[in-house]
A and B are shown apart, each in its own frame.
Chain A
């Protein structure tokens, strides 16, 4: 258990509305990540953070923004949700396991209608 909590776990929202997903960790890890997972595409990195207020884009960052004002919280915001953003979103942290293993939160299922 890497001490990662995601909220909400499930959400249905309408096209054009803003949505924020929260990732909370309890073990003071420096690196945090947001991935999305879709059939046929696997896990793709949206944004990551390497410290408070230090964030950078991943491979599928368009339409998403992030913020990290505290070590323990990493927020993912969809400014104006679109149906193409219907997906499962996983937060992850880099832990101290073999090879600095990445550990995942339980996931947030988002449906944009």
Chain B
């Protein structure tokens, strides 16, 4: 099976940077995904990594190290609207149905 760990909660100040770490264990890694989920809403796709390195998309960047089973999501120039939960998810080559397995999510609170 897969084991995906991420911190439960983080607090940061508006305008600052926050890094959300995700570690995973899987026998057939086939991609890592980050989602954003505001309270009471559905998760929305943020980023995808399948090769090692950094993917930058505006204020959000995602990094992957396959050898370490490690990823992080970097949120820069934090805004109040970035207060949300951030979900790390992994796809395993051997998982039927191309399904994603999710971590428990990290709740980020942005303070003024």
Contact = CB atoms under 8 A, between A and B. Distances in A.
A31 B87 contact: no
**Top 8 nearest A-B pairs by Cβ distance?**
A98-B48, A42-B104, A43-B102, A104-B42, A99-B48, A48-B97, A99-B31, A42-B102
Interface of A: 31, 33, 40-45, 48, 50, 56, 58, 90, 94, 97-107
Interface in B35-67: 41-45, 48, 50
Interface of B: 31, 33, 41-45, 48, 50, 87, 89, 91, 96-105
A90 B103 contact: no
B43 A104 contact: yes
Contacts of A48: 97, 99
A46 to B, nearest CB: 11
A29 to B, nearest CB: 11
30 contacts: A31-B98, A33-B97, A40-B104, A41-B104, A42-B87, A42-B103, A42-B104, A43-B43, A43-B89, A43-B102, A44-B102, A45-B99, A48-B99, A56-B96, A56-B97, A58-B99, A90-B42, A94-B98, A97-B45, A99-B48, A99-B50, A100-B98, A101-B33, A102-B89, A102-B100, A104-B43, A104-B44, A105-B42, A106-B41, A107-B41
